[in-house]
């Protein structure tokens, strides 16, 4: 499966600050809030500050993407990291959406199980309550000029689905790796330069288990080959991307491997800075895919109740990003 982001370009003139809201519906059938079923609506709020920074440049908002849906085993606490990148190297913080304009029908705390935590470093801790439960997670990504600032420069929505599954008989999940050794590594790339990315999924379960797909959430102009089995335990796909001028700025690509028991691997992400004239440097970083327990200090906590399980129908994914001088709301 490959999901490509689409974009809506909004021309903003004669304003120093503006808010863009996209509201519609419906979410697939959800387990929370209680009784929501298929009636869930969504709303995305993106705030844009067009005033000049101290460097006499306009602010570049953070970029954040998330594979959806994420599968988690029932009754086991799971850590999910939302990959982010900020080209200005501003401090990026995450929080739960908390107003009707930010999350409509799926605002925490009622939309997620008891004990769900969203940490400022964009780490989500969640435990699925019932097999076949579906939850919509509404998160807001904000960038700040420094660690002491309390007012964000921009506000970016990220919303994705979580599905609770039965525990697998095999205790190991697949491992997905790529060309970068660490997920906080950024790659500078010039417009028009072809770039190849090989993703490799490793299976640690018995031979009856296979890797059935490597799912990609990517930007435009990227192609993916069919999945190939290299050995009894390794599968791979090859991605090819030639960035276009409209992709100048920050880009993130994420992928997940899925085995025949419907167990997902780690989410593997790569970040890029695209420029026209030369290979650019990378001032920003994406959040690591490993958790440092010492950074889990202040958080949003969820206290709620659970509802009966439901069956899946569709998948919804949202994020927001920016390139050059245009602000783009990607749905």
Tell me the two tokens of residue 31.
Answer: 């387990």
What integer best gives the mean pLDDT of the chain? 84
Comparing C-alpha atoms, which of 198, 191, 290, 284 is closest to residue 243?
191
What pLDDT is recorded for position 87? 84
What pLDDT is recorded for position 281? 78
- b/e string for 198-234 if b means 16 or more Cβ within 10 A? ebbbbbebeeebbbebbbbbbbeebebeebeeeeebe
What pLDDT is recorded for position 136? 98
Query: How many residues are listed for the chain in this entry?
Result: 331
Q: What is the pLDDT of residues 219-229, one digit of tens each?
A: 889 999 999 99
Residue 294: phi and psi, rounded to 5, are: -70, -15
223, β-bridge pairs: 240
What pLDDT is recorded for position 36? 95
Structural domains in the chain, sorted by start: 2-330 (2.60.40.4140)
The tokens 């970029």 sit on which residue? 63
Q: Which of helix, strand or coil describes residue 161?
A: strand
- CA geometry: angle at 67 spanning 139 and 11, to 5°? 65
Return the higher-pLDDT residue of 284 and 12: 12
How many whole angstroms separate alpha carbon 71 and alpha carbon 259?
12
Model pTM?
0.81
pLDDT at 325 over 60: no
List all residues 6 or more positions away from 226 whose beta carbon is below 8 Å from its beta carbon.
Answer: 237
How many whole angstroms separate alpha carbon 326 and alpha carbon 123?
29
Q: Are 104 and 156 in contact (CB under 8 A)?
A: no
The answer to which of 66-80, 97-111, 256-270, 276-290 has the lowest mean pLDDT is 276-290
Return the higher-pLDDT residue of 185 and 37: 37
The answer to which of 13-22, 258-267, 278-287 has the lowest mean pLDDT is 278-287
List all residues 6 or more positions away from 231 whose beta carbon is below 8 Å from its beta carbon.
Answer: none
Tell me the two tokens of residue 192.
Answer: 């028009």
The tokens 């306009």 sit on which residue? 58
Average pLDDT (238-253) is 92
How many whole angstroms separate alpha carbon 249 and alpha carbon 246?
9
Q: Are 34 and 129 in contact (CB under 8 A)?
A: no
What pLDDT is recorded for position 328? 35
How many whole angstroms separate alpha carbon 144 and alpha carbon 207?
49
């Amino acid at each position: 499966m490959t999901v490509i982001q689409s974009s809506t370009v909004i021309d903003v003139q004669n304003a120093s600050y503006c808010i863009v809201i996209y509201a519609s519906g419906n979410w697939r059938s959800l387990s929370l809030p209680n009784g929501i079923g298929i009636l869930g609506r969504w709303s995305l709020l993106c705030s844009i500050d067009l005033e000049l920074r101290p460097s006499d440049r306009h602010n570049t908002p953070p970029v954040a993407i998330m594979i959806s849906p994420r599968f988690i085993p029932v009754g086991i606490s799971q850590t999910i990291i939302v990959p982010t990148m900020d080209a200005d190297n501003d401090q990026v913080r995450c929080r739960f959406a908390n107003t009707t304009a930010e999350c409509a029908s799926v605002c925490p705390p009622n939309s997620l199980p008891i004990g769900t935590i969203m940490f400022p470093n964009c780490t989500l801790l969640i435990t699925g309550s019932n097999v076949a439960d579906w939850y919509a997670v509404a998160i807001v990504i904000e960038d700040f000029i420094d660690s002491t600032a309390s007012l964000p420069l921009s506000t970016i929505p990220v919303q994705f689905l979580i599905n609770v599954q039965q525990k697998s008989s095999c205790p190991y999940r697949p491992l997905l790796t790529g060309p970068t050794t660490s997920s906080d590594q950024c790659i500078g790339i010039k417009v028009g330069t072809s770039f190849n990315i090989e993703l490799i999924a490793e299976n640690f379960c018995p031979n009856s288990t296979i890797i059935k797909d490597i799912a990609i959430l990517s930007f435009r102009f990227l192609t993916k080959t069919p999945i190939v089995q290299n050995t009894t335990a390794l599968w791979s796909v090859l991605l090819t991307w030639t960035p276009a001028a409209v992709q100048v700025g920050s880009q993130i690509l994420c992928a997940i491997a899925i085995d025949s028991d419907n167990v997902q691997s780690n989410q593997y992400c790569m970040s890029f800075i695209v420029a026209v004239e030369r290979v650019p440097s990378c001032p920003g970083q994406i959040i690591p895919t490993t958790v440092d327990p010492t950074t889990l200090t202040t958080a949003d906590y969820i206290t709620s109740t659970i509802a009966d399980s439901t069956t899946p129908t569709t998948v919804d994914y949202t994020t927001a990003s920016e390139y050059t001088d245009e602000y783009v709301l990607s749905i």
